Amino acid sequence: MDTITVTSPLLPDLEEFQGLLREIWDSKWITNNGSFHQRLEEALAEYLKVPYVSLFTNGTLPLITALQALRITGEVITTPYSFVATTHALWWNGIKPVFVDIDPATGGIDPDCIEAAITPKTTAIMPVHVYGKPCDTERIQAIADKYGLRVIYDAAHAFGVEVDGKSILNAGDMSTLSFHATKVYNTIEGGAMVMHDAKTKQRIDYLKNFGFAGETEVVAPGINSKMDEMRSAYGLLNLLQVDAAIAARRKVAVAYREALRDTEGITFFDDMPGVRHNYSYFPIFVDAEKYGMTRDELYFRMRDAGVLGRRYFYPLITEFSTYRGLPSAVPENLPHAHRMAATVICLPMHHALTQDDVERVINCIVR
């Protein structure tokens, strides 16, 4: 029997892509703010309902660059329940991560824990819209305003997510996206930063091109994170089919929920009122006592049946050697994050899952 993978990349039509490659070959302009790059930035800003987008080569460099651009130093309050890149971006800037616990209702940073972790060295908050579920952006902003802190959202999971018709990517000072192959929308490797004004976009565009502000002028110690024309063209084609992909994912989520709703010891998130979700992940949480099997037992049982889930996010970032010595990384500080990491399995979730695939996944879990 075929293996059911946790994700599968959304690929553009090959012939259409070849047509655009022909245009690039003819133009001989293959990178450095070419016409596909410009078109993709504009198309993404429109699709995402945000004022400005700057493309990057992946989703990690915009995090690193946002911290540079805002001159963030000292300590930044963040979540242990994320992909390691969130914290690595702080480390690469010589910033000390201060971990606080999550709200078990969403998996996002718990605003109640933020205030208690603020010290005179705190300069910013870096929350993550984990699984594309919106953080409590209003409360986080209120705390930031009260203490004069910046807010940078790692929105790698939150492509196209809206609350009451408005993009959550407009929250905070900046938001960053990842367009990695495994994400809802991909450019193979790729990413972006979302910002509020033209001046900031200008500065970010300098920073991602070594700090060049003109032929002979370098205004900052920038980095190289320019997206090339091939991947920009690929991204333009994928943007045309991302709504259909999200609709297909939604069907899978609805089927999972229907089938698992009455399974004792298995819980999952429901849609939030007023939110346009992107169904980027479908995490379930296993209560070993009620379910009669541990998370890992279920995970390996699924694997034996050719169904590849993912224990995402496990282990917590605070368990990795680089970070576990930090005072805020002690488990007693992060009980909800530890519980979530110990019980989670992300089920297969992508646009190409068939009804049979979904049934096979469900049959591994429902007994």
Ligand X SMILES: *Cc1c(COP(=O)(O)O)cnc(C)c1O
Interface residues with ligand X (CB under 6 A) are 58-60, 82-83, 85-86, 128, 154, 156-157, 178, 180, 191
Compute the distance between CA of residue 343 and CA of residue 312 in angstroms, rounded to an integer: 10
Compute the distance between CA of residue 190 and CA of residue 188 in angstroms, rounded to an integer: 6
Torsion sign over Cα 25, 27, 28, 34: negative
Pairing of β 162-163 and β 282-286:
unpaired
Q: What is the DSSP string of 197-217?
A: SHHHHHHHHHHTBTTBSSSS-
Q: What is the DSSP string of 8-28?
A: ------HHHHHHHHHHHHHHT
For the bound state, the minimum distance from the C-beta of residue 156 to ligand X, rounded and expressed in Å, comes to 3
Which residues partner with 162 through β-bridges?
167, 276
Nearer to ligand X, 78 or 328 (CB): 78
Compute the distance between CA of residue 366 and CA of residue 361 in angstroms, rounded to an integer: 9
Nearer to ligand X, 83 or 285 (CB): 83
For the bound state, the minimum distance from the C-beta of residue 258 to ligand X, rounded and expressed in Å, comes to 27
Nearer to ligand X, 235 or 365 (CB): 235
For the bound state, the minimum distance from the C-beta of residue 79 to ligand X, rounded and expressed in Å, comes to 9
Paired tokens of 119: 């010290």
Q: Which residue is nearest to ligand X (CB)?
A: 59
For the bound state, the minimum distance from the C-beta of residue 86 to ligand X, rounded and expressed in Å, comes to 5
For the bound state, the minimum distance from the C-beta of residue 27 to ligand X, rounded and expressed in Å, comes to 27
For the bound state, the minimum distance from the C-beta of residue 133 to ligand X, rounded and expressed in Å, comes to 12
Nearer to ligand X, 60 or 167 (CB): 60
Pairing of β 122-126 and β 162-163:
unpaired
Nearer to ligand X, 60 or 175 (CB): 60
Burial class (CB in 10 A: 0-12, 13-18, 19+), 196: middle
For the bound state, the minimum distance from the C-beta of residue 346 to ligand X, rounded and expressed in Å, comes to 11
Nearer to ligand X, 83 or 206 (CB): 83
For the bound state, the minimum distance from the C-beta of residue 108 to ligand X, rounded and expressed in Å, comes to 11
For the bound state, the minimum distance from the C-beta of residue 139 to ligand X, rounded and expressed in Å, comes to 20
Burial class (CB in 10 A: 0-12, 13-18, 19+), 320: middle
What value does the CA radius of gyration of the chain take, rounded to a whole number of Å?
A: 21
What is residue 234's DSSP assignment? Answer: H
Nearer to ligand X, 76 or 260 (CB): 76
**What are residue 207's phi and psi, to 5 degrees?**
-60, -35
**What are residue 78's phi and psi, to 5 degrees?**
-150, -175
Give the number of other CB atoms < 10 A from CB of residue 239.
19
Nearer to ligand X, 187 or 343 (CB): 187
Compute the distance between CA of residue 357 and CA of residue 219 in angstroms, rounded to an integer: 53
Nearer to ligand X, 156 or 245 (CB): 156
